[in-house]
Amino acid sequence: MNDNRTDADFAVLEEITQRNQTWPIMAAKYGVENPLPPWKTSLDGFCDALDRSCATPEQLDFSFKARRDEEDELSATHYADLPFPENQLVSLAHSLLARGVIDEVELRRRLDDVRARLES
C-alpha cells in the first residue's frame, strides 16, 4: 500500500468528521429506529459499481483489494472515531482524493451544491 495515500490529511473530511452528524447520533435525536442510515444501500451500490466498472487508469491502483485495504487502515486510524458505515464512506472519499480522482476544491463546491439542492 502507498503510505502517502493513507497518511494524507484532507481538511474537508476532517471537518465532516468533527461535525459528527453520524447516524447513531441523528437517529437518537429524532427517535428513528433504523439501525443504518438511508444512504447505506446507495453507498453499497457505489462501491459495487466502482469494483465492477471502475474506469480509473490502472496506474492509480484502485482495485477492489486496494480500496478495501485502505478502508481498513483509514477506519482504524484517521476515522477511528466514526461508526460504520460513515467510516466506509469517508475512507472512500479519502482514497478518491488521495489519488487525485477528485480534488478537494471541486468536492467542497459539490458538497455545497448538493446541500443547497437538498435543502431547497
Partner 1 sequence: MSDHDHDHDHARTVKPMVEEVTDFEVLEIALRELCIEKGLFTAEQHRVMTEFGEQIGPTPAARLVARAWLDPEFRELALREPMEASKKVGVDWLNPTGFGTPSDFYAFKILEDTPTLHHVIVCALCSCYPRPILGNSPEWYRTPNYRRRIVRWPRSVLAEFGLELPEDVEIRVQDSNQKHRFMVMPMRPAGTEGWTEDQLAAIITRDSLIGVALPKPGVTTNVSNKTVPAVRPIVE
Select the residue interacting with partner 1 from 7, 8, 65, 104 (CB under 8 A).
Answer: 65
> Within 10 Å of residue 23's Cβ, how many Cβ atoms?
19
Identity at 2, one-letter amino acid code? N
- Counting residues that bind partner 1 (by CB under 8 A) gives 57
| CB-count exposure of residue 11 (10 Å: 0-12, 13-18, 19+) | exposed
Q: Which three cell numbers stand for residue 61?
A: 491502483
**Interface ranges with partner 1 (CB under 8 A):** 16, 19, 21-23, 26-27, 29-33, 37-39, 41-46, 48-56, 64-65, 68-69, 72, 75-76, 80, 84-86, 89-90, 92-93, 96, 101-102, 106-107, 110-111, 113-115, 118-119
